Amino acid sequence: MNAVVEQKIRARPLLGTFVEIAASGTSGSVHAAISQAFDAVAEVHALMSYQDPASELSRINQFGIDGPVAVHSHTWEVLRAARELAEASAGLFDITIAPTLTRLGFLPPHANFPRASRHGDWRHVALLPGQRVQFLRRVRIDLSGIAKGYAVDLAIRVLQAAGMQSGRVNAGGDLRVFGTTAQTIHVRAPHAPTQVLPLLNLTDGAAATSAAYFAQRRHAQRMVTPLIHPHTRSASSAERSITVLAPHCMHADALTKVVQADPAQAAKILARYQARAVIVEHDPVSGGFRVFDSAHTSGCPLSGSLPLAGERDNVSLRMFKDALSPSSLPQAGERDKVSLREKRFIAA
């Protein structure tokens, strides 16, 4: 007898955002699998929250300068990956920008953390044998640019181990899917974040999007974002969104920061992680969007080594082509599915 398949979807506030987990599997087993996946995300949250003074990360930030601090294997995995990414990107990815984020008001100050040095960076976070961490200078680390992706990967592993046929974990824009059918990934329009664009189809793999539309705040009379360039330590402005596709969500999450900091340098690093970047920029003149795809530029000598549409990770750009063909344009009566055009377009 065939088992009945059911699909469930749930959401909880974790990792400072909304984490959504969906799975389908044998009837009766899905809710329990989703609960286990949430527990895995909650564990990562408890270990790596910068905000929580009781987290393992806060313990490292408080005592890392005094001597080696032994850490949980999850934290170790993330620190190791962060180190590798920092090396690969020559510091474009750097977990020691926390003091800058605190100064701009994105991270809370912690009275019990040692004062941060201005001359420390990722090179001063030493990873020692026995899963121990020590600071060589007075740095402060923040894993929010990579831990969310790690939590997503972990939750996906839990769903797979529980026998789910397909699943999806979305932690505020860092998402990963698995299964046999393609799922359409949408991104927010960078200039109007309450509108969304269908960007691509994903069957098995991760997509992380970095954009500042909901994260801007005023600091010293100007709008700043939490996207900090590690070399200049200055905050970038919010004008485009960057989506990175990769087999692992942890890499996709971290690589969005590398692309944000330096798109030209990023091409080599993306290839190393079998990743691909798509930048969406609003064009105020046409009202449309310019899409830059690291795998689709002719003349770029590096594009050959990047996954092409539909080949690796089953990522395809079919949506792009559909979006461009006249037959896909919305008809009257489909209005509840597709938003009304912007006013100036109706006028024009």
Q: Which of 94, 57, 51, 50 is nearest to 72 (CA)?
A: 57
Residue 29 engages other proteins in binding (rule: CB under 8 A) = no
CB of 197 to other proteins, least distance (A): 5
Site string for other proteins, 201-240 (x = CB under 8 A): -x----xxxxx--xx-------------------------
Residue type, 43: E
217-219 vs 276-282, strand pairing mode: unpaired
Q: Under rule CB under 8 A, which residues in 148-207 are in contact with other proteins?
A: 168, 170, 172-175, 177, 183-189, 192-199, 202, 207
- Residue from 118, 222, 337, 343 binding other proteins (CB under 8 A): 337
Residue 116 engages other proteins in binding (rule: CB under 8 A) = no
Residue 342 engages other proteins in binding (rule: CB under 8 A) = yes
Bridge-partner residues for 345, per DSSP? none
Phi, psi of 223 (to 5 degrees): -80, 130
Q: Under rule CB under 8 A, which residues in 255-284 are in contact with other proteins?
A: 263-264, 267, 277, 279-281, 283
Q: Point out which span in 82-90, 97-105, 157-165, 339-347 binds other proteins (CB under 8 A).
A: 339-347
Burial degree of 8 (CB within 10 A; 0-12, 13-18, 19+): middle
CB of 47 to other proteins, least distance (A): 18
Q: Point out which span in 75-83, 109-117, 153-161, 324-332 binds other proteins (CB under 8 A).
A: 324-332
Closer residue to other proteins (CB): 70 or 196: 196
Q: How far is it, in rounded angstroms, from Cα 277 to Cα 243?
A: 6
Q: Which of 214, 62, 205, 88 is nearest to 140 (CA)?
A: 62
Q: Under rule CB under 8 A, which residues in 288-317 are in contact with other proteins?
A: 288-294, 296-297, 299-303, 317
Q: How far is it, in rounded angstroms, from Cα 179 to Cα 182?
A: 8
Residue 287 engages other proteins in binding (rule: CB under 8 A) = yes
Render 99-117 in DSSP notation, one character per residue.
HHHHHTTSS---TTSPPPP
CB of 218 to other proteins, least distance (A): 15
For residues 115 and 139, the answer to whether their CB atoms sit within 8 Å is no
Closer residue to other proteins (CB): 70 or 214: 214
